[in-house]
Structure 1
Amino acid sequence: MKALSHLNKYLLKYKWYLIWGTTFTVISNLFGIIPAQLVRYSLDLVKETLDIYFLYNGSRLQSNLYDVFAFSILFYGLLILAMALLKGFFLFLVRQTLIVMSRHIEYDLKNEIYLHYQTLPLSFFRQHNTGDLMARISEDVSKVRMYVGPSIMYGLNLITLFVLVISYMVSINARLSLYVLLPLPVLSVAIYVVNTIIIKRSEEIQRSLSRLSTFVQEAFSGIRVLKAFVREENSATNFTVESDVYKQKSLQLTRVDSLFFPLIMLLVGFSNVLVVYVGGQEILTGRLTPGNIMEFILYVNMLTWPVMALGWTTSQTQRAAASQQRINEFLAVKTDLVSEKSLEREIAGEVEFRNVRFVYPDSGIVALKNFNLNVKAGETVAILGTTGSGKSSLANLLTRMYDPTDGVILIDGIPLKEYSLTSIRRQMGYVPQEVFLFSETISNNVKFGMPEMPQEKVEQAVKDADLYQNIIEFPEKFDTRIGERGVTLSGGQKQRLSIARAIARDPKILILDDCLSAVDTNTENIILNNLHRIMENRTSVVISHRVSSAKLADKILVLDEGEVVEHGTHEELLAANGVYRELYEKQLQAEEV
């Protein structure tokens, strides 16, 4: 129960649901117990009345006695019916409180996990696959809900019924009650042994389900590659293998679960045998009536479902504990990207990297070594380099997806760590190397981050990104839904839409991370000319492996293996006859070809 203690705050939040649910459970069980006593009165009445009835055989009094007897039996029957209806009504109220509470807790827990995920650094998502993240927020939370809903409901019902029924049974005959309850310790030991196995197998099932979810998510995300390489059959085979593992583990758990019900029915049946045998002896001694025996049999059968539910409840609680443990593992992860002073101010855009060294915490790869850069507000700097030289790492550090291992990054002379994360990111426009678009309309993708943005601004941003002509040719124009990850657009269109999304925010610092790699030279020139106007009086960081993208820059840095090997203006670097000139001439020849 240690893992499930995390839910206590929610139980406290919805305490009135729990209190009223407990109250309604007690009342419903009271109305469930009373019919057993009415049955006892009825049977004893029948036995006693029959003797008197036959005593007055043939007399007029016998007819009157029959009328009284018939009315009494009818009255008891109607009372039993009324008790059943009242029990049903209060059971309805029990579900309307406890099950509704579980849905509220499920909603709150999912939101807590989702919000927590969003606070975690990029390194967390590099270390854990998407399928596992999704399994914990869906499958695991669903299993936890079974604990805070049905398990608590059946648990309260079991406790209440045991207290009420056993107290009634003891008050009638303590000896018979003792014999009836003898199988319970055996049942407790059996449940303990079985559930030790259940919790172990439940954890194995959840791990298997996470792997299965990851496999499916990757297969459908990369469906284009899958089809292009004709790997559908192989993918289906691998899915079958992974699915078989999940099936086998589920069957193993089911085999253990299947022990509960036969075991409980056997023990309940044994209790009924004891009631008849021991109760018969008590009748012979005159301490009990046949009505008492019937009442005891009804009590034993009343306990049958709660005792059966005990096994189910314990099983669900153990599964919930295993799931909550998995949830707690991620909730325990805390981000180290915290603001030291939560500074919120409008920035001018001056950027400085001072002796920055950066090592990726998840892989240990050294991305930057003693990197220095100073960009004045309104200046444009181009960062050039081959793949793996550390260009994108600069963008990640500037947007504070990571903190540098050594050194400091300053914005307007103030350390980046002192700014409020949300405040500083709102003043940045970022076009990532790997474009990600949402399954929304074109208009909403441009407005992402600023939902209140006027449509005129959306259209202007799209024109600057040289995408306007393409959009107006679509049947639904700006209301065109672009599909998951922008699947309905070409690579170049996706990149240009991503650029429009960044510049529409009117950011103080614009970061373009190799964002023109999927467009042709002509489109690149159009976008660059448009960006020239946009970049005026705006700090811009252009990251690229193309020399053509660096034309607009006030200064250019050439990176190689995380170190600056050359820096200067376009003309200065050409005159230096170094790496930049070699790169420039190679790309010039490629364009001519």
Structure 2
Amino acid sequence: MKELRHLNKYLFKYKHLLILGFIFLVISNYFAVWPAKVVRYAIDYVTDSFALYRLFEGGTLGTDLFDQLEMGVLVLGALMILMALLRGFFLFLVRQTIIVMSRKIEFDLKNEIFEQYQNLPLSFYRRNNTGDLMNRISEDVSRVRMYLGPGIMYGINLLVLFPLVIYQMLRVNPELTFYALLPLPVLSISIYFVNNIINKRSEKIQESLSDLSTGVQEAFSGIRVLKAFVREADSTQQFENASETYKYRSLRLTFVNALFFPLIMALIGLSVILTIYIGGNKVINGEITYGNIAEFVIYVNMLTWPVTALGWITSINQRAAASQKRINEFLKEKNDIQSTDDLKKDIAGDLIFDNVSFTYPDSGIEALKNVSFDVKAGQSIAIIGTTGSGKSTIANLMLRLYDTTEGTVSVDDNDIKKYDIPNLRSQMGYVPQDLFLFSDSIRNNIAFGNSNISEDEVFKAAKDADLYDNIIDFPKGFETMLGERGITLSGGQKQRTSIARAIVRNPNILILDDALSAVDTNTENTILNSLSSLMKGRTTVIISHRVSSAKLADKIIVLDEGRIIEQGTNESLLAKDGVYKELYEKQLKQEESSEIQ
């Protein structure tokens, strides 16, 4: 139960609902116990009155006695109906307090988990798959809610009802109480062990469901690749295998559940048989009345569900504890990327990398080795290199998605770690290599970085990214809804939308991480010509494997296996007759051959 202590703050927050629910439960159970007494009184009343009526049957007194008997039965019946209605009303209030409380806590807990997800560093998402993240915020939270709602409600109900009923039974006959309750501990223990089996098999089902969700999500996200490589049959087979595992584990659980309810009914029936048999002997001996037997049978049936629920509640608590443990694992995750001074200021854009080395913590890959360069505010720098040379890592360090392993990154002569992170990132425009667009309108995707911008600013950003003409050709223009991950658009259109999203923020530092890789040479030149005016007055970092993208930069560095092997201007690097010139000539030949074709 220690894992569930995390929920105590929410129980305290909604303590008024919990206290009211407890009060309503006590009242509802009070009205649940009384009908048994009324039944006992009614049976004894009818038995005695009918015996008296038989003595005076046929006379005036007999008629009066029968009328009184009818009236008494009607009054007792009305009393039982009234008590049933009152009990139902207070049970309604119980659910409107305790169950509502559980839903409110579920809402708060999901928000807490999602907020934690948002705050965790990028390295966390490299270690965990999306299906598992989704299961913890959905399936695991639902299990915890069962503990907070039905678990607490039936647990309190057991604590309240059991003493009330046992007290009433002992007042009638202690010996009959003993025999009537004899099978119930066996019932509770049996349910506990059966529920343990159910719990373990449910865990296996949960694992299968997580694997199934992850597989389906990957299949949907990569549907283009699946179709392009004609792997639909393999994908279907993998889904069938995962479904088969899920089905097998579900059927094993169904088998246990099939034994569960007959066990309950058999032990309940045994308790009723003992009550009638022992009670019948006591009626013969004159120790109790017929009404007492009926009263005891009602009491036994009243206790059956709470005792049965004891094992069920234990299972709910175990499953909730297991789920909360999984949730706590992520809630306890710490984001080591924190601001040291919470510095909030407008940045000019001076950028310095001083002997920066970086090793990815999850893979151990050394991406950068003693990288040093500087960019003055308003200048531009191009970072050129082949795949895996460490170009994108530089962008990640500038955005503080990661922190350096060695060395420092400085902005305006301040260590980047001193800045308030949201404040710093809000002054940067970033076009990632791995493009991502939301399932929303094109306008909202462009305005994503700044929701307060005007329509004219959105249009201007689209024009600067050479996207405007494409958008107005769509039937709904800027209100065109994009599919998941922007699947409605072509690769080049997605890339240009991402560029428009970055420049619409009017950032002081603009980072283009291979932003033109999906566009052709003509479109690249058009966008670069537009960007040349946008780059004036702001620090621009152009990361690319294309030499053509580096032409506009004031300074160029060439990376290879995480080290700077060349740096200078476009002209000076061409004059060196080194790696840069080799890349330049190779790509120039490729462009010429593509134009000929």
User: Normalising by the residue count of structure 1, what TM-score does the alignment of the two structures yield?
Assistant: 0.98
The alpha-carbon deviation at position 302 of structure 1 amounts to 1.6
Matched residue, 1:47: 47
Amino acid at match of 1:324: Q
Amino acid at match of 1:450: N
The alpha-carbon deviation at position 320 of structure 1 amounts to 2.1
Q: Structure 2: how far apart are the matches of 1:281 and 1:579?
A: 105
Amino acid at match of 2:530: N
Q: Structure 2: how far apart are the matches of 1:167 and 1:342?
A: 64
The alpha-carbon deviation at position 111 of structure 1 amounts to 0.7
The alpha-carbon deviation at position 74 of structure 1 amounts to 0.8
Matched residue, 1:550: 550
> 1:457-488 CA distances to partner (integer Å, 9 max, x unpaired)?
11111110011111111111111111111111
Residue 275 (str. 1) matches residue 250 (str. 2) = no
The alpha-carbon deviation at position 423 of structure 1 amounts to 0.6
Amino acid at match of 1:238: Q
The alpha-carbon deviation at position 427 of structure 1 amounts to 0.5
Q: Structure 2: how far apart are the matches of 1:320 and 1:246?
A: 21
Assess, with a 3 A threshold, how the Cα gap between structure 1 residues 57 and 192 changes in structure 2: closer, same or farther: closer
SS in 1 for 2:284: helix
Count of matched residue positions in the alignment of Structure 1 and Structure 2: 593
Residue 335 (str. 1) matches residue 338 (str. 2) = no
Residue 400 (str. 1) matches residue 400 (str. 2) = yes
Q: Structure 1: how far apart are the matches of 2:199 and 2:7?
A: 19
Matched residue, 2:177: 177
1:497-536 superposed matches below 5 A: 497-536=497-536
Residue 589 (str. 1) matches residue 589 (str. 2) = yes
On the 8 A contact 1:206/1:323 being kept in 2, the answer is: no
On the 8 A contact 1:202/1:322 being kept in 2, the answer is: no
The alpha-carbon deviation at position 491 of structure 1 amounts to 0.6
Q: Structure 1: how far apart are the matches of 2:449 and 2:571?
A: 39
The alpha-carbon deviation at position 377 of structure 1 amounts to 0.8
Worse-superposed segment, 11-20 or 113-122: 11-20
Amino acid at match of 1:18: L
Residue 285 (str. 1) matches residue 285 (str. 2) = yes
Matched residue, 1:358: 358
Matched residue, 2:378: 378
On the 8 A contact 2:187/2:308 being kept in 1, the answer is: no
The alpha-carbon deviation at position 283 of structure 1 amounts to 1.9
The answer for unaligned runs of 5 or more in structure 1 is: none
Residue 579 (str. 1) matches residue 579 (str. 2) = yes
Matched residue, 1:28: 28
Matched residue, 1:214: 214
Q: Structure 2: how far apart are the matches of 1:240 and 1:521?
A: 45
SS in 1 for 2:357: strand
Worse-superposed segment, 566-575 or 169-178: 169-178
SS in 2 for 1:370: strand
SS in 2 for 1:272: helix
> 1:337-368 CA distances to partner (integer Å, 9 max, x unpaired)?
11111111111111111111100111111100
Identity in percent? 62
The answer for unaligned runs of 5 or more in structure 2 is: none
Q: Structure 2: how far apart are the matches of 1:473 and 1:81?
A: 71
Matched residue, 1:433: 433
Q: Structure 1: how far apart are the matches of 2:109 and 2:247?
A: 28
The alpha-carbon deviation at position 582 of structure 1 amounts to 0.4
User: Normalising by the residue count of structure 2, what TM-score does the alignment of the two structures yield?
Assistant: 0.97
On the 8 A contact 1:261/1:308 being kept in 2, the answer is: no
Worse-superposed segment, 378-387 or 283-292: 283-292
Matched residue, 1:249: 249
CA RMSD of aligned residues (A): 1.3
On the 8 A contact 2:188/2:311 being kept in 1, the answer is: no
Amino acid at match of 1:3: E
> 1:525-544 CA distances to partner (integer Å, 9 max, x unpaired)?
11111111111110110000
On the 8 A contact 1:199/1:322 being kept in 2, the answer is: no
Amino acid at match of 1:155: G
SS in 2 for 1:475: coil
1:471-490 superposed matches below 5 A: 471-490=471-490
Q: Structure 2: how far apart are the matches of 1:462 and 1:560?
A: 34
On the 8 A contact 1:198/1:318 being kept in 2, the answer is: no
1:56-67 superposed matches below 5 A: 56-67=56-67
On the 8 A contact 1:18/1:101 being kept in 2, the answer is: yes
Matched residue, 1:368: 368
> 1:309-355 CA distances to partner (integer Å, 9 max, x unpaired)?
33433333322222222211211211111111111111111111111
Q: Structure 2: how far apart are the matches of 1:512 and 1:156?
A: 60
SS in 2 for 1:259: helix
On the 8 A contact 2:465/2:499 being kept in 1, the answer is: yes
Assess, with a 3 A threshold, how the Cα gap between structure 1 residues 23 and 104 changes in structure 2: closer, same or farther: same
Amino acid at match of 1:102: S
Q: Structure 2: how far apart are the matches of 1:262 and 1:208?
A: 28
Worse-superposed segment, 25-34 or 49-58: 49-58
Matched residue, 1:450: 450
Amino acid at match of 1:498: S
Matched residue, 1:265: 265
Matched residue, 2:388: 388
The alpha-carbon deviation at position 295 of structure 1 amounts to 0.3
SS in 1 for 2:449: coil
